Amino acid sequence: MHLFPGIRFATPWAFMVLLVIPALLLYRYRFARPGTMRFSSTSAAARAGGSFRTRFAWLPALLRVAAIVLLVVALARPQKGHEKVRDVTKGIAIEMVLDRSGSMGTEMDFLGVRMDRLGAVKKVFEEFLMGNDKTLKGRPNDLVGMVAFARYADTMAPLTLEHGALLRFLESVQVVKRQNEDGTSIGDAIALAAARLRTAEEELSKRASEEGEKEYEIKSKVMILLTDGQNNFGKRAPQEAAELARDWGIKIYAIGVGGREAVATMRTLFGDFKVPVGEGVDQKTLRTVAEITGGRFWLAENDEGLRDIYRQIDELERSEIESLRFVDYRELFVWFALAALALLLAEAALANTVFRRIP
């Protein structure tokens, strides 16, 4: 019940008690015994005039009535409300899965500069993450983590909103140099990234249930897989890992980097020559992996194609910020109860001192 701006009464039925007060006053006025004096004449008292006690004899009764009114107000539980706004971010949890096998050292043109494929992928990923003031807006409200793989898959960075720290981890990702580390374990990388996404969601849910409120909610879980080769190592097949991701509600956006055949540039006295170093992108497997999870597959044969793919992903998956408005009420009844107690004490003190009646 709202009677005053910003004030409400949680138990307004308590005000019905106030209806009893006029009835009690009326009863006392009509049925109380009139006062009498054992003197033959009251003229002397009239000439003396009213004293302080006689003029304010009504004061204790007034204090008692005021105390009762305040107690009734306290019983009605007055509450003052303050509107609060809490932002709940519904973000995307993104695992970046990077191939760092030997074939990712194949050179390609990136904005007129020759660099290896992994370097180009890292540049575009940085633009996707932080924005480039042109077509990519950045992902400030998204949890982003990173898994890199060659023969083995490793977690390079946990899912985080601290994207500056993530870029430092990204800088450390390099093409493998040792033969015993080279290979392409796409299935294991997908399974590891899926596990990281699921764990993050469970931890956020647990934290929200313990604290009673949530400030961040995972709207959807996404994996961006970049590779230029074919699965040739690992315990899990890519399709099997994709089914696991699907069961956990994760979409995979698979990007094949380079052409159908992996090549390396060999510099000689007679010029630069492209030499085949692998079988190239396994488009069929990547397309199947994406379709299993409800994602998409793209083939990026150059730098502009890679950037365009990231632009499409950027448009497909966007986070939201929802403002929750609620009113936080503060109890005020204690102040009315204390005021009523003070008035009752004052009434008792006056009734037993200044306004004391002697039978």
Question: In this structure, are 57 and 177 located in the same domain?
Answer: no
The Cα 310–Cα 96 span in angstroms is 12
Question: In this structure, are 102 and 130 located in the same domain?
Answer: yes
63, two tokens: 């204090």
CB 330 within 8 A of CB 103: no
Query: What domain count does the chain have?
Result: 2
Please report, for residues 215, 299, 302, the alpha-carbon distance to residue 319 in angstroms, rounded to integers and kept in the order given.
13, 26, 28
pLDDT of amino acid 188: 97
Please report, for residues 102, 237, 355, the alpha-carbon distance to residue 231 in angstroms, rounded to integers and kept in the order given.
13, 8, 101
250, two tokens: 């994760």
pLDDT of amino acid 323: 47
pLDDT of amino acid 44: 53
Question: In this structure, are 315 and 344 located in the same domain?
Answer: no
Question: In this structure, are 270 and 292 located in the same domain?
Answer: yes
Question: In this structure, are 105 and 227 located in the same domain?
Answer: yes
Query: Is 357 within a domain?
Result: no
CB 87 within 8 A of CB 323: yes
12 CB-near residues (< 8 Å, 6+ apart): 1, 76
CB 317 within 8 A of CB 220: yes
| pTM (predicted TM-score) | 0.62
φ, ψ for residue 173, nearest 5 deg: -75, 120
346, two tokens: 């004052």
pLDDT of amino acid 270: 63
pLDDT of amino acid 311: 87
Domain that holds residue 47: 2-81+328-351
Positions of the chain with pLDDT under 70: 1-6, 25, 28-54, 82-89, 133, 211-216, 259-279, 318-328, 355, 357-359
Question: In this structure, are 123 and 259 located in the same domain?
Answer: yes
pLDDT of amino acid 83: 60
Find the helix packing angle between 238-247 and 283-293, rounded to 10°: 20
Write a three-state SS string for 134-168. Answer: CCCCCCCCCEEEEEEECCCEEEEEEEECCHHHHHH
The Cα 127–Cα 137 span in angstroms is 9
Comparing CA positions, the residue from 175, 178, 174 lying closest to residue 103 is 175
Question: In this structure, are 249 and 203 located in the same domain?
Answer: yes
Question: In this structure, are 128 and 33 located in the same domain?
Answer: no
Question: In this structure, are 283 and 340 located in the same domain?
Answer: no
